C-alpha cells in the first residue's frame, strides 16, 4: 500500500508587503536541500509559522491558504539564506523575525529581508556541524557516482576554503570513518 507523504505548503516571501514581518521557527540549522536551476542556486528550508499566507501545490493547481499555522517550506534569497545560517549558528528551533524592506540604490529600489533572532534554539541532536554535514553529503554524492575517495583525499578536501577552516584534520579522520560505515 502506497501512502502519500503530506507535503508542507510553501511560504513565499514576495507575498509580504514592504515593512511587514513574519516569525518563523527554523526546523533546521541550514537548508534541507540545495540545487541548481536556470536562475542559479536554490536552498530549501523548513520552519513553523503562525497565521501566515501560504501556497499549497504548484502551477495551475496552486492555491493560497490564509491564516495557516504549521510547518512550511521556503526558498530564501541567497543573502537571506546566509543570514539564516548565521543566526541559526548550528542550532535548531531558532525563532526569527524576518522583515521585508526596500533600499534605494543607484539602480532603483532593491528588496531586502532583515533577520532578527528572537530565541536561541537548541543544539541539533546529531553531533555533526552544518559544515561537516556539507563535506559528508558531497563525499557521499561522489561515492554514489562511482568515485573512490581514499582517506588522504578526504582529509585534504576537508581543508578546502568552502569548509571555512572549521574541520580539523583529526575531526576529518573521524568523519571519514562515519562515511565508510
pLDDT tens-place string over residues 14-26: 999 999 999 999 9
What are the extents of the domains in the chain? 13-123, 130-179
Task: For residue 88, count other CB atoms closer than 10 A to its CB.
Answer: 22
Three-class DSSP category at 129: coil
In the chain, how many H helices and how many E strands?
Answer: 4, 8
Residue with cell 537548541: 122
Evaluate whether 169 touches 176 at the Cβ level (below 8 Å): no
Q: Is pTM, for the whole model, over 0.75? A: no
Q: Any idea how long the chain is?
A: 181
Alpha-carbon dihedral sign for residues 151, 154, 155, 156: positive
pLDDT tens-place string over residues 89-132: 888 899 999 999 998 889 888 999 999 999 998 876 656 778 88
Amino acid at each position: 500500500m502506497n501512502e502519500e507523504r503530506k507535503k508542507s505548503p510553501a511560504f513565499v516571501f514576495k507575498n509580504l508587503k514592504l515593512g511587514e514581518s513574519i516569525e518563523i521557527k527554523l526546523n533546521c540549522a541550514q537548508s534541507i536541500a540545495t540545487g541548481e536551476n536556470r536562475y542559479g542556486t536554490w536552498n530549501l528550508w523548513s520552519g513553523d509559522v503562525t497565521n501566515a499566507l501560504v501556497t499549497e501545490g504548484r502551477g495551475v493547481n496552486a492555491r493560497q491558504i490564509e491564516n495557516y499555522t504549521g510547518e512550511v517550506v521556503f526558498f530564501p534569497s541567497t543573502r537571506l539564506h546566509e543570514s539564516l545560517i548565521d543566526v541559526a549558528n548550528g542550532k535548531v528551533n531558532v525563532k526569527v523575525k524576518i522583515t521585508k524592506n526596500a533600499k534605494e540604490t543607484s539602480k532603483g529600489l532593491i528588496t531586502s529581508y532583515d533577520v532578527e533572532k528572537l530565541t536561541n534554539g537548541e543544539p541539533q541532536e546529531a553531533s555533526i556541524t552544518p559544515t561537516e554535514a556539507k563535506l559528508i553529503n558531497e563525499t557521499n554524492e561522489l561515492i554514489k557516482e562511482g568515485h573512490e575517495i581514499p582517506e588522504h583525499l578526504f582529509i585534504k578536501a576537508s581543508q578546502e576554503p568552502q569548509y571555512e577552516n572549521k574541520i580539523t584534520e583529526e575531526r576529518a579522520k573521524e568523519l571519514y570513518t562515519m562515511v565508510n560505515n
